[in-house]
Structure 1
Amino acid sequence: MSDRFFNEIRLGNLEAVTQMLNDNPELVDAIDQRGSTPLILATYYDQIGIAELLLDKGAKIDAVDGSGNTALMGVCFKGFAGIAEMLIERGANVNERNSMGATSLIYAATFNRPEIAKILLEHGADTTAKDARGNTAHDHAKMQGVPELIQLLAAEL
């Protein structure tokens, strides 16, 4: 059942996901073989409608996958600014850290997502947070050679 559920999320089939959740509310907390929750999967596949449904049904917004990444972290490296905004508005922790110490802001800097970095900064992202290698988001922006992010993050230090 949960394999089909995760497949319907990937496909963006809101109607099927809604029906499956109505029939089996516990699916909101299911975990796939990679350790992802339905919310993490929905956001990773840019399925904002399904993500909102899952949150309405009680999905834990800061739940983590097998690598310790939250849904917000995932959209920061994928570049889905609209979902990032929605997650933050719904209460996602912008300063959550994964198993390597990375934050959403570090991901935004590493993957050249200035629009998302601005959103995170507007909502209190910690520019001094360091990952397991001791690098801040600003350090990652410099390593990537992204002038817009370097300037944006330098102004916040």
Structure 2
Amino acid sequence: MTGAPLNPEQQARVVAMAMDLAREGRTAELMEFLDHGLPVEVVDREGNTLLMLAAYHGHAETVDALVARGADVNARNDRDQSPVAGAIFKGEDDVVRALVAAGADLDAGTPTGRATASMFGREHLLRDVEP
């Protein structure tokens, strides 16, 4: 972040606040953090990116804004889970569409997006988004 350097405790608090904003879909406030220097690919202790949390919690507008800022739609967390698999698991159709349109790989991660759709009976999401 720009300005005076933050100590590790302050940095951890800033990251935690940003992660909460992503989870809650508070897009405008989250974009302010990015505008002030927070990297779009910052991760929490489990390796989740802002995009992962926004996708998992069904915030398509936040997902779109993060993608527009360069978020990696295929970045996986420490458990090898992808944002698109999380969105499929939660049945977040709009988020799945946004991620696939932005280039999300349905075959990445463990389980893959395709496997997740199959496990939870959400194959219709894939039929709706694949060309």
Classify the TM-score, shorter chain. Answer: 0.7 to 0.9
Counting aligned pairs with the same residue, the percent is 25
- Compute the TM-score of the two structures, normalised by the length of structure 1: 0.72
Give the Cα–Cα distance (whole angstroms) in 2 for the partners of residues 122 and 25 of structure 1: 37
Cα–Cα, structure 1 residues 38 and 25, in superposed 2: closer, same or farther, change >3 Å?
A: farther
Partner of residue 113, structure 2: 137
Cα–Cα, structure 1 residues 25 and 54, in superposed 2: closer, same or farther, change >3 Å?
A: farther
Cα deviation for residue 46 of structure 1 reads 2.0
- Give the unaligned 5+ runs of structure 1: 1-20
Cα pair 2:2 2:36 within 8 Å, conserved: no
- Compute the TM-score of the two structures, normalised by the length of structure 2: 0.85
Partner of residue 100, structure 2: 121
> Which whole-Å deviations, capped at 9, do the CAs of 1:80-106 have from their partners, x for residues lacking one?
100000000011000101011111111
Structure 2 counterparts to residues 106-117 of structure 1, below 5 A:
106-117=85-96
- What CA RMSD, in Å, does the superposition of the two structures yield over aligned residues? 2.5
Partner of residue 26, structure 1: 6
- Give the unaligned 5+ runs of structure 2: none
Count of matched residue positions in the alignment of Structure 1 and Structure 2: 129
Give the Cα–Cα distance (whole angstroms) in 1 for the partners of residues 124 and 101 of structure 2: 16
Structure 2 counterparts to residues 2-81 of structure 1, below 5 A:
26=6, 30-32=11-13, 36-81=15-60
Give the Cα–Cα distance (whole angstroms) in 2 for the partners of residues 62 and 118 of structure 1: 21
SS at match of 2:12: coil
Cα–Cα, structure 1 residues 130 and 105, in superposed 2: closer, same or farther, change >3 Å?
A: same
Give the Cα–Cα distance (whole angstroms) in 2 for the partners of residues 93 and 40 of structure 1: 16
SS at match of 2:87: helix
Give the Cα–Cα distance (whole angstroms) in 2 for the partners of residues 152 and 138 of structure 1: 13
